[in-house]
């Protein structure tokens, strides 16, 4: 049953002025073969179905009332049409579902791919939980609609066919029977207008509940430490109350409209009985026609009821599509310039040329940051909290772009080179050591998936992680987070360091990368690093003097600019501020 | 169209109080008017005033069943059921009226416009009546569903609060989330539409069968015999196959979401390692597997639907053959045959709807089972029957022969005996994995010792309520967790009704003044989930201030200073004096700077106490601590030779 999934062939339309379904259309169109087959066959199947009431009408009037034809030949014909309707129906639905699920898979892949390329600025703004919920239910509702809407429209075509049969039996009765349908249509329109906002409000409130749960689960330690379970339960209860109101409102609005949608066809049947009966009495109509009209109206009821459902699905789908577009319309802030070239044979000089930077709307973090780092040099960046140290690390790899000024590697503006080549040459160990729920081996080999076990082990040794990994129940095969094998912050940091070391970048940035590691372990790591760093440009952002001591030069950062540069000793001697920053740690007030 | 409107504004009003102003908080602007109109009629919901007790009440301990859930609202259940029954009956009167109109108003010899008119008007009235009744029914079931789900949400969430820390592993976070969201939403659908639909359609089938037998037993027997066994067989096949497919695609969508969620949370690492293309390929595999599972379900569904339609048409053909023969032989009236056809049409609709609803029922049932299983998980750390309130403590902590292991095989702590006097600060030092943090987790009962006892002021902490225990202990964990919300709301987390002055004081004490002054909205600045607004150090300082504001009797800093930079650490060191004033404290530290401040140092290694004494004593003794301190000095360079360290020598 497994067939290979090749991934999406097209993207959605970039034109934001198009209606939502037209933006999705290219995805649908890329499956047009199966889709058209599905539509064609289901049309055929429905035609066979519509034939049946007319055949029954004829059979009753000719065979049973007037005894003019033989019963058995009509029976045989109906049986054959039934078989054809069934077979074509089965085949058509196969294709319907195939289209539907391929479209869904395409949308899922498109969103994932798009998210993958978005910049850090985006992730600073949005909550991942909300993205996941979109990727789940919103895709579902768009896919449902975009696939089933055309099918329901096919059913409506059948409605036209059925109406044609009714006209051929009795134009007058057909018109009377159809009077309810326009009303049905207007009720549907009105319903669309009132249902849409409430379904939106409901979804927004459900998302609030999800956020509370998510925070509660992730912050469980804090909740328990502060014994705030009761406050949390009440916080949830308030949110749940708002959801409950939205659901009640939703039901009230639906209750006001949907019974009419469902019962208007019954009114049509009543009209058929009354007027049709009258016409039978007057001899203008056979009794079989009553049966056929009944059947046709019931047949019409399905598409019209589905039209109501379609209206609701459409509301959901549109809301969902809008939220999906919000993601897909988000352009990566960090993009390669046209003509970007690969960074190669990096020697490792880094220039910060009058760099200015701020995170979105926040205050400027770096004002006129200016520094030059020689190939092979190791530099420590020291400064107070909020002085912009970590920001420097994030700019070199273009996780963010500078607002003004230039950063150059070997004289190349980082914005002129391709992103993969840049990030391949600049390795960053981030202050938050995120590990994936894959084996430790795979985590270390994350940037070099083809690395051999020996290479992985060597990196782990350099990061002083080999020993504790060996002690884990399944060594390098231990899956992070599984069966409660949780790692301490220091252990995670060491794996994160090994991960970067394995890539072996000519420029290495350690952003507070050993803050949770034991002091003696840290010493071991730096001993190993000292060997590795010999040929490598290194930027160390650190709080500990032990770490700072590793660097051959120190940049003192204050208020977003370099205020002093030199060896540790020079700065101690020359710059009171450096002494002050360090002194604050070396001289906690006397007891 | 202004999709962009969704990026800002409007959040608070639609319920996103804690994510107000964040992206995705808004509503598309073209819907704003209608939505605002709706919300204008929303009453003010009084703030919830629920009490939380660690031990569940009698009612909460009852087994979770659908019947019990909806049974809490008997009035609505009864009126909902009556409405469903009445509307189903009314809806089936149509064909009978048609039969009567044909036999007594249309066939030769019985022509009567009066009968036809009466039947037609009767039909009309019944259709109107059923519309009105349905309206009430939708209201009632909507009300029922939303109240029941409101109860269930609170019940499940309350249970989360009772569960112990060991339950909240990373892998379970997603599971817990889907219990509170998709499972409960499944049930919402089920109660609102599913059950009433199911009942209505089932009832319809029974009514129709009865009427058919009343009209003509022989033909009814034929009809039922020809159609029902076939439908029965194909339905059983369908149920089995679709259940299999449903389980398969549920597992696979879970993989899709897990892959997505990890990629999002780890996006920074993904980007830094250039893994985008590889991850995209991998995601395609996962999505492809999910699609294949869906295709299987699709195949099953595509056979069932048309097959039932086919059986319907074949049934009509045979009915024509058999019933037509009976009419020709005069054994059946023409009106009755027409009624048979009409009912046969109506017989299949409900069957298909029943099958449609079957999936919803299936999902609802497994949701109930999953929720029940979750609700039946007992907390591993629980209050004993009749636990007492722990009175305000002095802060004496005793570990009496405490051993502990996270699993049965490996003990992390072995026979620990330790006494911490009230007001004393004790630093736990030792290598990673030695069991330092575990000691802290035992003190506030995140875990219970495998053997031995932990006492506070001489009271075994297992005999007191968790709330009275934990509200007197303040813990600052290694990784500061902040809730989405303002700095103010985060700081007042432990004591929601705290005054502004106290918050300002705490900000000064931990040295956050600079940060707060720097932020555009100061103390009301919203901190994001993983946003970069705050550095790790700043988050940690906030966590400290939060603990400070909770005024605990005992303070536990679990490597709380590890991610601080030099300056923040200095600030903290200074603040510690204020924080520790009159309190006992357990300081778990990698950095010996922090340890040196403590009244006493306890060196823990391999689950046991190796050494214990004042910093001066231990350095003088030249044992394990002195060796660690030397290593610390060596690695920290000469600058770490701190003046106060020397003083202690």
Domain extent, residue B553, equals 397-648
Neighbours of B202 (CB within 10 A): 17
Q: Searching chain A, which residue's CA lies closest to the CA of residue B37?
A: A197
Which of B546, B582, B540, B575 lies closest to B559 in space, CA to CA? B540
Is residue B414, in this structure, part of any structural domain at all? yes
Which helix or strand (DSSP H or E) is residue B366 part of? Answer: helix B334-375
Least confident of A172-176, A361-365, B473-477: A361-365
Residues B120 and A273: beta-carbon distance below 8 Å:
yes
Within this chain, do residues B464 and B573 fall inside the same structural domain, yes or no?
Answer: yes
Q: What sign does the CA torsion over B519, B520, B524, B529 have?
A: negative
Chain B hits for A67, Cβ within 8 Å:
328
Q: Searching chain A, which residue's CA lies closest to the CA of residue B14?
A: A201
Q: What does the mean pLDDT of chain B come to?
A: 81
Is residue B383, in this structure, part of any structural domain at all? no
pLDDT tens-digit series, residues B152-193: 999 999 998 888 888 877 667 777 888 888 888 888 888 887
**Higher confidence at residue B325 or residue A303?**
B325
According to the model, what pLDDT value does residue B75 have?
A: 92
According to the model, what pLDDT value does residue B646 have?
A: 33
Within this chain, do residues B495 and B415 fall inside the same structural domain, yes or no?
Answer: yes
Within this chain, do residues B428 and B312 fall inside the same structural domain, yes or no?
Answer: no
Is residue B387, in this structure, part of any structural domain at all? no
Question: Which of B133, B566, B592 to probe the A interface (max A CBs under 10 A)?
Answer: B566
Residues A350 and A396: beta-carbon distance below 8 Å:
yes
pLDDT at B246 exceeding the cut of 80: yes
Within this chain, do residues B312 and B434 fall inside the same structural domain, yes or no?
Answer: no
Residue ending a domain, among B298, B316, B331, is B331
Chain A hits for B312, Cβ within 8 Å:
82
Interface of B with A in 583-642 (CB under 8 A): 590-593, 597, 628, 631-632, 634-637, 639-640, 642
Is residue B203, in this structure, part of any structural domain at all? no
Is residue B240, in this structure, part of any structural domain at all? yes
Is residue B363, in this structure, part of any structural domain at all? no
Within this chain, do residues B581 and B463 fall inside the same structural domain, yes or no?
Answer: yes
Within this chain, do residues B446 and B520 fall inside the same structural domain, yes or no?
Answer: yes
According to the model, what pLDDT value does residue A361 have?
A: 66
pLDDT at A28 exceeding the cut of 80: yes
Instruction: Map residue A355 onto helix, strand or coil.
Output: strand
pLDDT at A572 exceeding the cut of 90: no
Q: What is the dihedral of CA B34, B38, B41, B46, to 10 degrees?
A: -130
Within this chain, do residues B401 and B286 fall inside the same structural domain, yes or no?
Answer: no
Within this chain, do residues B518 and B426 fall inside the same structural domain, yes or no?
Answer: yes
Residue ending a domain, among B312, B331, B350, is B331
pLDDT at B523 exceeding the cut of 80: yes
pLDDT tens-digit series, residues B550-580: 888 898 888 776 656 666 667 777 777 778 8
Whole-angstrom distance, CA of residue B323 vs CA of residue A506: 89
Residue ending a domain, among B277, B310, B331, is B331
According to the model, what pLDDT value does residue A87 have?
A: 94
Average pLDDT in the B216-221 region?
Answer: 90
Task: Number of A to B CB contacts under 8 A, please give it.
Answer: 688
Give how far B385 is from chain A: nearest CA, Å.
19
Whole-angstrom distance, CA of residue B557 vs CA of residue B579: 11
Q: Searching chain A, which residue's CA lies closest to the CA of residue B295?
A: A98
Is residue B237, in this structure, part of any structural domain at all? yes
Whether B254 and chain A come into contact, CB under 8 Å, resolves to no
Which of the four pLDDT bands, split at 50, 70 and 90, describes residue B287? very high
Which of B31, B251, B263, B485 lies closest to A203 in space, CA to CA? B31
Strand ranges (E), B356-512: 397-404, 413-420, 425-429, 451-456, 459-460, 473-476, 485-486
**Which of A118, A128, A323 is facing B529, going by the closest CB pair?**
A128
pLDDT at A587 exceeding the cut of 50: no
Whole-angstrom distance, CA of residue B77 vs CA of residue B364: 18
Within this chain, do residues B436 and B513 fall inside the same structural domain, yes or no?
Answer: yes
According to the model, what pLDDT value does residue B119 have?
A: 87
Average pLDDT in the A442-468 region?
Answer: 90
**Could you give all domains of chain A from N- to C-terminal order, each with its CATH number?**
20-122+129-328 (1.20.1560.10), 350-586 (3.40.50.300)
Give how far B100 is from chain A: nearest CA, Å.
11
ipTM greater than 0.85:
no
Within this chain, do residues B327 and B469 fall inside the same structural domain, yes or no?
Answer: no
Q: Do residue B3 and residue A325 have CB atoms under 8 angstroms apart?
A: yes
pLDDT tens-digit series, residues A406-430: 999 999 999 999 988 898 899 888 8
Within this chain, do residues B412 and B320 fall inside the same structural domain, yes or no?
Answer: no
Which of the four pLDDT bands, split at 50, 70 and 90, describes residue A214? confident
Q: What sign does the CA torsion over B440, B445, B451, B456 have?
A: positive
Chain A hits for B175, Cβ within 8 Å:
none
Residues A462 and A529: beta-carbon distance below 8 Å:
yes
Q: Searching chain A, which residue's CA lies closest to the CA of residue B156?
A: A233
**Which of B38, B132, B313 is facing A78, going by the closest CB pair?**
B313
pLDDT tens-digit series, residues A476-495: 998 886 544 567 777 888 89
Average pLDDT in the A266-280 region?
Answer: 85
Whether B331 and chain A come into contact, CB under 8 Å, resolves to no
Residues B483 and B529: beta-carbon distance below 8 Å:
no
Burial A225-243 (b: 16+ CB within 10 A, else e): bbbbbbbbbbbbbbbbbbb
Average pLDDT in the B294-320 region?
Answer: 88
Is residue B187, in this structure, part of any structural domain at all? no
Within this chain, do residues B323 and B457 fall inside the same structural domain, yes or no?
Answer: no
> Which residues are paired to B584 by β-bridges?
B554
According to the model, what pLDDT value does residue B426 have?
A: 92
Residues A274 and B116: beta-carbon distance below 8 Å:
yes
The DSSP letter of residue A552 is: S
User: What is the phi/psi pair of residue A576, to 5°?
Assistant: -60, -35
Which of the four pLDDT bands, split at 50, 70 and 90, describes residue A588? very low
- When computed from its CA atoms, the radius of gyration of chain A, rounded to whole angstroms, is 35
Residue B503: CATH number of its domain? 3.40.50.300
Number of domains in chain B: 2
């Amino acid at each position: 049953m497994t067939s290979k999934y090749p991934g999406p062939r097209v993207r959605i339309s970039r034109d934001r002025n198009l209606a939502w379904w037209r933006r999705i259309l290219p995805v649908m169109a890329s499956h047009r073969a199966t889709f058209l087959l599905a539509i064609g066959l289901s049309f055929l199947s429905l035609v066979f179905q519509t034939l049946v009431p007319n055949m029954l009408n004829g059979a009753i009037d000719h065979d049973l009332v007037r005894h003019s034809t033989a019963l058995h030949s009509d029976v045989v014909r109906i049986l054959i049409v039934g078989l054809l309707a069934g077979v074509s129906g089965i085949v058509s639905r196969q294709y319907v579902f195939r289209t539907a699920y391929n479209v869904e898979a395409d949308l899922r892949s498109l969103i994932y791919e798009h998210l993958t390329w978005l910049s850090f600025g985006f992730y600073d703004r949005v909550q991942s939980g909300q993205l996941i919920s979109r990727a789940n239910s919103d895709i579902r509702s768009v896919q449902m609609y975009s696939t089933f809407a055309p099918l329901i429209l096919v059913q409506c075509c059948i409605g036209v066919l059925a109406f044609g049969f009714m006209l051929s039996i009795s134009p007058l009765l057909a018109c009377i029977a159809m009077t309810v349908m326009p009303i049905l249509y207007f009720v549907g329109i009105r319903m669309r207008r009132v249902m849409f906002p409430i379904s939106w409000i409901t979804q927004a409130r459900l998302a609030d509940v999800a956020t509370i749960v998510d925070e509660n689960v992730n912050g469980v330690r804090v909740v328990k430490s502060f014994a705030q379970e009761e406050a949390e339960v009440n916080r949830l209860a308030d949110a749940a109350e708002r959801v409950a109101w939205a659901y009640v409102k939703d039901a009230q609005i639906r209750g006001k409209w949907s019974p009419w949608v469902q019962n208007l066809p019954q009114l049509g049947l009543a009209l058929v009985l009354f007027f049709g009966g009258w016409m039978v009495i007057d001899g203008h109509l056979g009794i079989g026609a009553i049966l056929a009209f009944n059947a046709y109206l019931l047949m019409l009821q399905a598409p019209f009821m589905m039209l109501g459902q379609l209206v609701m699905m459409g509301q959901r789908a549109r809301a969902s599509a809008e939220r999906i577009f919000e993601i897909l319309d988000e352009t990566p802030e960090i993009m390669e310039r046209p003509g970007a070239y690969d960074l190669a044979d990096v020697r490792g000089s880094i220039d910060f040329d009058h760099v200015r930077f701020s995170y979105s709307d926040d205050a400027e973090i770096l004002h006129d940051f200016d520094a030059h780092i020689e190939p092979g040099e190791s530099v420590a960046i020291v400064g107070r909290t909020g002085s912009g140290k970590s920001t420097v690390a994030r700019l070199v790899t273009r996780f963010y772009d500078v607002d003004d000024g230039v950063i150059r590697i070997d004289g190349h503006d980082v914005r002129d080179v391709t992103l993969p080549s840049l990030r391949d040459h600049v390795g960053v160990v981030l202050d938050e050591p995120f590990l994936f729920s894959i084996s430790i081996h795979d985590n270390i080999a994350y940037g070099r998936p083809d690395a051999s076990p020996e290479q992985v082990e060597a990196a782990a040794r350099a990061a002083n992680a080999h020993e504790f990994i060996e002690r884990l129940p399944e060594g390098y095969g231990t899956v992070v987070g599984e069966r409660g094998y949780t790692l301490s912050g220091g252990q995670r940091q060491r794996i994160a360091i090994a991960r970067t070391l394995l890539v072996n970048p000519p420029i290495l940035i350690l952003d507070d990368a050993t803050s949770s590691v034991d002091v003696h372990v840290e010493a071991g790591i730096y001993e190993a690093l000292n060997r590795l760093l010999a040929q490598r440009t290194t930027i160390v952002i650190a709080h500990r003097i032990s770490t700072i001591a590793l660097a051959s030069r120190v940049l003192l950062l204050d208020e977003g600019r370099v205020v002093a540069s030199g060896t540790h000793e020079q700065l101690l001697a020359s710059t009171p501020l450096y002494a002050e920053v360090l002194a604050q740690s070396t001289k906690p007030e006397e007891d | 169209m202004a999709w962009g409107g969704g990026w800002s504004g409007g959040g608070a009003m639609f319920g996103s109080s804690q994510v107000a102003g964040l992206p995705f908080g808004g509503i598309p602007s073209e819907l704003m008017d209608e939505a605002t109109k709706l919300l204008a009629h929303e009453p003010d919901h009084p703030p919830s005033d629920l009490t939380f007790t660690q031990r569940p009440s009698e009612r909460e301990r009852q087994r979770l069943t659908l019947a019990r859930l909806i049974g809490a609202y008997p009035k609505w259940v009864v009126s909902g059921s009556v409405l469903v029954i009445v509307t189903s009956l009314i809806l089936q009167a149509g064909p009978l009226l048609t039969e009567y109109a044909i036999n007594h108003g249309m066939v030769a010899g019985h022509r009567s416009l009066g009968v036809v008119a009466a039947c037609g008007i009767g039909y009309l009235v019944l259709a109107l009546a059923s519309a009105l009744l349905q309206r009430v029914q939708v209201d009632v079931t909507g009300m029922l569903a939303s109240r029941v789900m409101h109860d269930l949400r609170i019940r499940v969430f309350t249970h989360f609060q009772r569960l112990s820390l060991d339950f909240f592993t990373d892998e379970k976070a997603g599971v817990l989330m889907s219990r509170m969201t998709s499972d409960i939403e499944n049930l919402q659908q089920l109660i609102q539409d599913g059950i009433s639909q199911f009942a209505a359609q089932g009832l319809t089938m029974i009514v129709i069968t009865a009427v058919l037998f009343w009209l003509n037993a022989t033909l009814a027997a034929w009809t039922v015999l020809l159609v029902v066994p076939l439908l029965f067989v194909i339905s059983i096949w369908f149920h089995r196959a679709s259940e299999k497919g449903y389980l398969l695609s549920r597992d696979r969508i879970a993989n899709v979401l897990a892959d997505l969620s990890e990629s999002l949370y780890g996006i920074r690492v993904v980007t830094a390692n250039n893994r985008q293309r590889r991850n995209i390929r991998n995601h395609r595999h996962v999505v492809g597997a999910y699609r294949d599972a869906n295709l299987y379900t699709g195949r099953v569904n595509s056979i069932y639907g048309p097959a039932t339609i086919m059986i319907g048409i074949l049934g009509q053909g045979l009915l024509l053959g058999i019933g037509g023969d009976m009419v020709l032989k005069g054994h059946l009236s023409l009106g009755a045959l027409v009624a048979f056809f009409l009912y046969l049409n109506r017989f299949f609709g409900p069957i298909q709807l029943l099958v449609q609803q079957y999936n919803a029922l299936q999902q609802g049932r497994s949701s109930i089972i999953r929720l029940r299983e979750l609700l039946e998980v007992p907390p591993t750390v629980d209050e004993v029957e009749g636990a007492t309130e722990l009175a305000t403590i002095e802060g004496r902590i005793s570990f009496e022969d405490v051993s502990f292991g996270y699993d049965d095989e490996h003990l992390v702590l072995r026979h620990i005996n330790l006494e911490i006097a009230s007001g004393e600060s004790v630093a736990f030092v030792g290598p990673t994995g030695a069991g330092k943090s575990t000691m802290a987790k035992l003190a506030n009962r995140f875990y219970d010792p495998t053997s031995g006892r932990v006492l506070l002021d001489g009271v075994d902490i297992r005999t007191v309520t968790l709330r009275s225990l934990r509200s007197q202990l303040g813990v600052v964990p290694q990784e500061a967790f902040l809730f989405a919300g303002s700095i103010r709301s985060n700081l007042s987390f432990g004591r929601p009704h705290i005054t502004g002055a106290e918050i300002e004081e705490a900000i000064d004490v931990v040295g956050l003044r600079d940060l707060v002054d720097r932020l555009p909205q100061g103390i009301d600045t919203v901190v994001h989930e993983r946003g970069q607004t705050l550095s790790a150090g700043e988050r940690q300082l906030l966590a400290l201030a939060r603990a400070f504001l909770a005024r605990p009797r005992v303070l536990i800093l679990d490597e709380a200073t590890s991610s601080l930079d030099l300056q923040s650490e200095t600030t903290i060191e200074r603040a510690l004096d204020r924080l520790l004033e009159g309190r006992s404290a357990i300081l778990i530290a990698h950095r010996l700077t922090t340890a040196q401040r403590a009244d006493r140092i306890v060196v823990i290694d391999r689950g046991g106490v190796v050494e214990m004494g004042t910093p001066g004593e231990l350095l003088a003794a030249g044992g394990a601590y002195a060796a660690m301190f030397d290593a610390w000095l060596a690695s920290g360079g000469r600058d770490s030779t701190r003046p106060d360290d020397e003083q202690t020598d």
